[in-house]
Amino acid sequence: MTASSLVSIEDLTVQFRTDRGWTTAIEGVSFDVAEGDCVGVVGESGSGKSVTALSMLRLHARGTSRFARGSVRYGGQDLLRAPERTLRQIRGRDIAMVFQDPMSSLNPVLTICDQISETLCLHQGVSRAAARQRAIELLDLVRIPDASRRVDEYPHRLSGGMRQRVMIAIAIACRPRLLIADEPTTALDVTIQAQILELLRDLRAELGMAVMLISHDLGVIAEFARRVIVMYAGRIVEDAPVDVLFRAPRHPYTEGLMASMPALEGGAGRLYAIPGRIPDADEPIAGCRFGPRCAHVEAICQAAAPELVAIGATHRVRCTPRTRTSGTS
């Protein structure tokens, strides 16, 4: 953990209980989030993005998972081993999360005011009247029109974009130091997606908070993040500043993701699709887990699982042939 790190994740390995025993969902995940930074985490469904985020705050259902090894350090303590009381104080106050589906995350029988006020009363001890006024201010901040009326609405009365803004308002109510946004633009149309991203960018600048943005969409990551972590089958396969990653990706999986993005110019050609599928967590694969889908696979890739190797000061890649030819291994 460096001096500038806000949160430091080291060798995080998470297992889930199944009918066949414990299955490893993510393995050896290590990265830091610095104060005020914006980190993008990208990968296909099943790559381990959301599991990593939920593990940081120990939000998995009790008894279904365990931390085989690793740590998540914040403020001098390991959140994986902190008392539940300490963790409840940190969740929502210091580290907040915006979940994928606002309709299922918001309580349908409580007003927007009640749901924002709950966070304020719990962490800041304000009165109900003060919480209501602050809720209106937060709805204004996330650009919901006619906030003084909308604050008394129920979630079903709001559009998808407005519900997502309410989720963001709840998350930033206590001015957290880190906001984790898990697919915040999923199921929204393109115009609303752009508005939500612009809102997050403005809030980050205004509040000075760090943002960890989880997405399967490289276009969203390219527009928003300063650093990108690419995950595949529960492991980090590449980690680099956004300009470096898009200019010179080193892992074949990252190259495949970029090739599958629609081109803005040049007509409606057929999109590239990475062959095969992401493996199940307990699927036995010798060597590199991307090997069965990789167009550049070599014998060395199947002999042993590659390590995450540094290429220069800011770039890491988990690909033995690429790191070997670069002269860093």
Residue 231 in any domain: the answer is no
Residue 282 in any domain: the answer is no
Residue 165 in any domain: the answer is yes
The rounded distance, in Å, linking the Cα atoms of 271 and 174 is 43
Measured from the Cβ of residue 269, the count of other Cβ atoms closer than 10 Å reads 8
The dihedrals phi and psi of 112, each to the nearest 5 degrees, come to -60, -40
Q: What is the pLDDT of residue 112?
A: 96
CA-nearest of 314, 247, 239, 253 to 289 is 253
Residue 110 in any domain: the answer is yes
Residue 20 in any domain: the answer is no
Q: Which range marks the domain in which residue 112 is found?
A: 95-173
- pLDDT over 60 at 268, yes or no: no
Residue 80 in any domain: the answer is no
Q: What is the CA radius of gyration of the chain?
A: 21
pTM (2 d.p.): 0.91
Q: 278: which DSSP letter? A: P
Residue 139 in any domain: the answer is yes
Q: What is the pLDDT of residue 329?
A: 40
pLDDT in tens, 215-250: 988 888 998 999 999 999 999 999 999 999 999 999
Residue 119 in any domain: the answer is yes
pLDDT in tens, 32-86: 999 999 999 999 999 999 999 999 999 998 889 999 999 999 998 999 999 999 9
Counting the structural domains of the chain, the total is 1
